[in-house]
Structure 1
Amino acid sequence: MKSKILMKYRSLLVRVYSIIFRIIGLLPRNEKLIIFESYSGKQFSCNPRAIFEYLEENKDKYDYRLIWSIDKRNKDLFDNVDVNYLKRFSLKWLWYMATAKYWITNSRLPLWIPKPRKTTYVQTWHGTPLKKLANDMDEVHMPGTTTEQYKRNFLKEASKWDYLISPNAYSTEIFRSAFQFKKEIIESGYPRNDLLYAKNRDDISKRIKRKLNIDDNKKIILYAPTWRDNEFYGVGKYKFNLQLDLEELQKQFQDSAVFLLRMHYLVRENFDLKKYNHFVKDVSLYQDIRDLYLISDILITDYSSVFFDFGNLKKPMIFYTYDLEMYRDKLRGFYFDFEQNAPGEIVVNKEDLYLKLKNIIQMGSLPNEYNQFYDEFCSIEDGFAAKRVIERIL
């Protein structure tokens, strides 16, 4: 009974907020106000952060007021960085969001938010797609929705976007289809990867290692898998079954390496790693994965788009795909032949994973297909993507 009353109250609140938002949105735009948001206010990261930093570095040329929209549960994270922010859905946020000239975000906004007619909505998105997206998905296995409803809601939100950022020609073609997007796609490369081309990236890398308390003489192995649509605690709360033997990893690699665990932002897991004596570090809450790319010597992933970004560094990758057939054939489906085109070794069990890791640590080998992969997916990237985006939208 209480839950029904609570649901009715929330539904009423959303309707009231939407009406207020729509009314305030009729007022003139604040032409110098830009609202940023990353992963629904959970992070200070990704393409919105890179664009924000570019504007901060070029204040003399671009005189704008920059404000972040944040989830109040992540307030501590934003208190540790020098940014102005507003808590999502607060009354002050409602006013600023409804009157801002620009919105820059990397994931969908709540569907109830009406975009004012003269607001410019820049959707940066957050990855080169391997797995099928939105309108291209055959079936949706996420909680609290159906395939038809999910697609309908996604496309309704995508119709509000004025610009969509793309990292390469491959993504541009897919975004047109998956999001049914008819407006302008800025094929600029991803601003978040600008750091990977910074002239002082070696100095930045040393600072990050010191921050994480990692020895310079250790190889850094980054494990960054994606989430599974059908493994969840509830709506928007996904679980992840760690298919690794951390004790065996420690036994084999603790003298030569450090192992970083980076879970997807949708995954709600807390790992107890105290017994691994700093060999395994959970960096899921680390602000921005681009820093982790920079310091890592080897990436282990599965079907996550992280491998497209990591490809900019031309470092070794291993694809640990213990559920490949299920994920490919039933859960999501792929846009290209993953087994044929993955820029690294594909392994399906722990034993082969450890063996490949050992070989790479000892030999530092790279796949022969890397140059072709780089040319297709990373060749636009050059450290100036944020500049290109800003010059286009402003």
Structure 2
Amino acid sequence: MLFESFNGKDVNDNPAAIYRELVAEDPRYRTTAYFSVKPREYAALHAKYPEIQLIKRFTPKWVYLMARAEFWVLNSRLPNWWHANRRTTTIQTWHGTPLKKLGTDIDHVAIPGQTTARYHADFVTAANRWDYLIAPNQYSQEIFKRAFGYRGRFLSIGYPRNDVLYAADTPDQVAAVKQRLLPGVTGPVVTYAPTWRDDDAIRPGVYRFDLPFDLGEFFRHVSADTHLVIRPHYLVKDQVDIRGYEDRVTVLAETDIAELYLISNLLITDYSSVMFDYANLKRPQLFFAYDLAHYRDQLRGFYFDYTAQALPGPLVTQASSFYQQLDVWRDHGQFPDHVAAQEAFYHRFCDWEDGTASRRVARLIRTGKDEDDE
């Protein structure tokens, strides 16, 4: 069987969660399960995950294994020129609850050399080669069915990558992760995880990253022992400037984001799908959407009403309001005016999550049956 995450960029996300559950249940799968990775990432990933069989994408051995595999477990699309054989079962996990429009719901596709009509047609073609598609919630399932033109079978089970949020959310386990990622940090952890601005390029392939708040002012509105983690997109990780605050700010672009969720007392984001996964922990979130009008109206349309009423925490667009909300969190440990909204958000997007998604997919691979078949 072949696993692949984000077209071979890393060993992570839903495919990695399923792989680890599978080999934990039966270690013999270590010899027949492979992770497909980009050739340029192979050396680093091999050093990081020596226990996992890696295969370089699009090499002759990769072609041989893909052609003979009984299962493909993916979280994004393969090129449409690559077809599965009739004995291969494709499990598409996808990689997030959608806020921004997907697939055929995108009105205008701004990809060089690609027309909107061709993009839509290619997406539908790819989706209808999947035998199974994981949905994290009813909201996503309805969007996937329409936006992907998907007519296959859904696994309505929540996301495997979120299982750890239920399995490892004890004080001792969280403390161990915190000590490993942030040695010596004992106070609250705030994680800032913004989405990537794909129109903010310095030059092709190089993107700008500007913090929308002042670090000095930030720390004047939180407790003295608060530590800030910045989780940027990997394309801008080298553009983050924390000079003068190295002892109180850590940039973690490659760390498993589920581990950042576990150690975070507050998540600050904007339009990123991290809001949906983090909501499983029922911890406070703060939304700093400083470019809301531009992002919503010019870059990507939204699926749901991105307002303070729909979000699980305060929505601010100005730095002054951002600092005021930090004061509220510092004083109360939450946002009292948003408790009801946080609970409603949890029930809308996390009701299917219960920490068993990886186990259910592993069972499907081992037996050919999902629990819903019985």
Distance in 1, Cα, partners of 2:75 & 2:142: 18
- The equivalent residue for 1:349 is 318
Q: 2:295 aligns with which of 311, 324, 327?
A: 327
Distance in 1, Cα, partners of 2:314 & 2:45: 36
Gaps of 5+ in 1: 1-33
Distance in 2, Cα, partners of 1:219 & 1:200: 16
- The equivalent residue for 1:7 is none
Is the CA contact (8 Å cut-off) linking 2:190 and 2:227 kept in structure 1? yes
- The equivalent residue for 1:122 is 91
Change (3 A) 1:228 1:116: farther
Cα RMSD (Å): 2.4
Distance in 2, Cα, partners of 1:142 & 1:332: 13
- The equivalent residue for 1:167 is 136
Change (3 A) 1:143 1:344: farther
- The equivalent residue for 2:226 is 257
Change (3 A) 1:341 1:285: same
Q: Map residues 227-246 of structure 1 onto 2, 5 A cutoff.
A: 227-232=196-201, 239-246=208-215
Quote the offset at 1:88 in angstroms.
Answer: 1.5
- Listed one character per residue, the Cα deviations across residues 184-222 of structure 1 (whole Å, up to 9, x for unaligned) are 011001111110111564333222212223445321111
Q: Map residues 1-394 of structure 1 onto 2, 5 A cutoff.
A: 34-59=1-26, 65-74=32-41, 75-81=43-49, 82-198=51-167, 201-232=170-201, 239-250=208-219, 252-253=221-222, 255-265=224-234, 267=236, 269-286=238-255, 288-339=256-307, 340-366=309-335, 367=338, 368-393=340-365, 394=368
TM-score, normalised with respect to structure 2: 0.88
- The equivalent residue for 1:30 is none
Change (3 A) 1:242 1:216: closer
Is the CA contact (8 Å cut-off) linking 1:108 and 1:157 kept in structure 2? yes
Change (3 A) 1:352 1:103: same
**Aligned amino acid, residue 58 of structure 1:** E
**Aligned amino acid, residue 321 of structure 1:** A
Q: Counterpart of 1:110 in 2: which secondary structure?
A: coil
Quote the offset at 1:232 in angstroms.
Answer: 4.0
Change (3 A) 1:135 1:241: farther
Is the CA contact (8 Å cut-off) linking 1:142 and 1:229 kept in structure 2? no
Distance in 2, Cα, partners of 1:277 & 1:63: 40
Q: Counterpart of 1:174 in 2: which secondary structure?
A: helix
Quote the offset at 1:62 in angstroms.
Answer: 6.8
Distance in 1, Cα, partners of 2:45 & 2:356: 27
Quote the offset at 1:236 in angstroms.
Answer: 7.2
Gaps of 5+ in 2: 369-374
Q: Counterpart of 1:338 in 2: which secondary structure?
A: coil
Quote the offset at 1:137 in angstroms.
Answer: 1.3
Is the CA contact (8 Å cut-off) linking 2:93 and 2:135 kept in structure 1? yes
Is the CA contact (8 Å cut-off) linking 1:143 and 1:232 kept in structure 2? no
Change (3 A) 1:87 1:243: same
**Aligned amino acid, residue 222 of structure 1:** T
Quote the offset at 1:304 in angstroms.
Answer: 1.0
- The equivalent residue for 1:12 is none
Is the CA contact (8 Å cut-off) linking 2:169 and 2:262 kept in structure 1? no
Distance in 1, Cα, partners of 2:40 & 2:242: 24
Change (3 A) 1:35 1:77: same
Quote the offset at 1:55 in angstroms.
Answer: 0.5
Distance in 2, Cα, partners of 1:258 & 1:64: 42
Distance in 2, Cα, partners of 1:274 & 1:66: 43
